[in-house]
């Protein structure tokens, strides 16, 4: 049975390539030339198809003006969640960052949208976005490794997003930045 299958396979292969060679001799091309022409035809077809597809228009992202530096309380920070105000802020280790540029991540529909408008120290330290609190949190109960994690996050954010100011407990602790625009601290 195996010998019959092998024999049939050999006959088909010989027949197929024999016909290809006959066809090639008619046009004076070899089997390899035919294979290469077939590949070239596929590539040209793909290029042509790509050229004829309509360009997808990307949505226009509205330009949001930079914000002035300011210190905020927890209650004031809640407003900067991307829905109430177009700016998206969150605090980390007492520093408020303007993460509006990362709206895909930190906006209302983003995977880290729960952090917007909140103190994200505990959430980023524990890697739990549900650990966000709406009241003042000293984060005194974080373990040393969680504190290190929060510090690493803060270090990366300082080079990536503008610093808006400090998260303060009360209005009396606020500092006047005299109209200075929030920027990236190097």
Widest Cα–Cα separation across the chain: 95
Task: Answer yes or no: is pLDDT of 137 > 60.
Answer: yes
Q: What is the pLDDT of residue 36?
A: 87
Q: What is the pLDDT of residue 79?
A: 94
pLDDT band at 41 (very low <50, low <70, confident <90, very high): very high
Mean pLDDT across the stretch 104-129? Answer: 90
Q: What is the pLDDT of residue 144?
A: 93
Model confidence pTM above 0.85: no
Task: Answer yes or no: is pLDDT of 147 > 80.
Answer: yes
- Give residue-wise pLDDT tens across range 67-106: 899 999 999 999 999 888 899 999 999 999 999 988 888 8
- Give residue-wise pLDDT tens across range 120-134: 999 999 998 888 888
If you compute the radius of gyration of the chain from its CA atoms, what whole number of angstroms results? 32
Domain boundaries, the chain: 2-51, 74-173
CA angle 57/61/64 to nearest 5° reads 165
Nearest to 118 by CA among 137, 136, 134, 104: 134
Q: Is domain 74-173 annotated with CATH 3.10.120.10?
A: yes
User: Quick count: other Cβ atoms within 10 Å of Cβ 77?
Assistant: 21
């Amino acid at each position: 049975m195996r010998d019959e299958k092998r024999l049939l396979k050999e006959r088909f292969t010989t027949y197929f390539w024999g016909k290809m060679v006959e066809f090639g001799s008619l046009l004076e091309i070899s089997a390899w030339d035919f294979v290469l022409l077939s590949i070239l035809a596929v590539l040209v077809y793909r290029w042509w198809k790509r050229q004829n597809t309509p360009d997808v228009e990307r949505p226009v992202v509205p330009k949001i003006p930079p914000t002035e530096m300011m210190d905020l309380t927890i209650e004031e920070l809640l407003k900067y969640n991307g829905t109430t105000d177009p700016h998206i802020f969150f605090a980390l280790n007492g520093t408020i960052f303007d993460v509006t540029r990362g709206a895909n991540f930190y906006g209302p529909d983003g995977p880290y949208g729960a952090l917007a408008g909140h103190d994200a120290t505990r959430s980023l330290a524990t890697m739990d976005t549900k650990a966000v609190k709406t009241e003042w949190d000293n984060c005194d109960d974080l373990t040393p490794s969680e504190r290190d994690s929060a510090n690493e996050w803060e270090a990366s954010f300082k080079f990536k997003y503008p610093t808006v100011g400090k998260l303060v407990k009360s209005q009396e602790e606020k500092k006047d930045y005299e109209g200075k625009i929030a920027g990236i601290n190097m």
